[in-house]
Amino acid sequence: MKELVTILIPLSDKDLTPFQKKNLASCQAHLGDFQITFIKADCNECVAEVLEICPKADFFSVDDRYFTASQGLAKFLLSEELYDMFSWSRFLLWFDMNSYVHRNELAYWCRQGYDLIQLYPAFDTNLTQMDQWRRIINPGKSILLEKEIYRSFQHSAGFSLRRVDVFQKLVRKKKSLIFSFFQEMSGIDSANDSLFLEYYLNRWRTDLAIPNQISRNRFVHLDHLLMQEEMPFASISPII
């Protein structure tokens, strides 16, 4: 029988900052009953520091290029390697350490029937009809025309829930589109794959079941936009 969900946390080779330790401790406190697994480069030796906070965590080593290249982790999140590696789990929760967990709702969100849940890009709310069509027809050009806005979104992402079997099929089927995305985005510092998942998929038909804005804001929100009475499952700080 498959595990319901595995929490995946990318681990750099730098010592954890106090901010990261606080966020990691929130994950352990609220989600410590789930499997927590750190993804690290082969050369990373920061294991002892992490085990002080997450004593039962596992560690998986992956190719160093995923941590050294500017688009490394984004490519890893859109790779067959990742989803084949964790095919024994129904869901993956990707947790960058700029995220903070407020309460344990992970099992609830896994049971909502979605393939992907991640931050809603707030700047999407005032699109003109022309902007909408431009994004559908040519998402790469749309991103490049508003480079600073999209860069702001991708650097505030890093907390997402993914259905493994759906993503296994998706990354194989969309391999050429994924390649084109990284070619077009070579001039942008791609911190993660959120831009691809938001603007290259679900354009002509539904590739992924994704919740609406209200539900997504209840799943994760930006720290500086939080309202106390609307505290989500998790929140994100754009900068570590």
pLDDT number for residue 129:
75
Q: How far is CA 233 from CA 31, 35, 78, 101, 219, in A?
A: 11, 18, 24, 6, 5
pLDDT of 158 > 80? The answer is yes
CB atoms within 10 A of CB 150: 21
Q: Higher pLDDT residue, 229 or 206?
A: 206
Report CA 211 to chain centroid distance, whole Å.
Answer: 15
Average pLDDT of the chain, as a whole number? 86
- The tens digit of pLDDT for each residue in 24-37 reads 999 999 999 999 99
Supply the pLDDT for residue 81. 93
Q: Residue 169: name the closest of 212, 127, 216, 208 by CA.
A: 208
pLDDT above 70 (res 155): no
* pLDDT single digits (tens) 67-105: 876 678 889 999 999 999 999 999 999 999 999 999 999
Q: Which domains does the chain have, with CATH numbers?
A: 3-122+157-174+205-236 (3.90.550.10)
Distant-in-sequence, close-in-space partners of 48: CB < 8 Å, separation ≥ 6: none
pLDDT in tens, 123-142: 665 667 777 777 777 777 77
Is residue 190 over pLDDT 60?
Answer: no
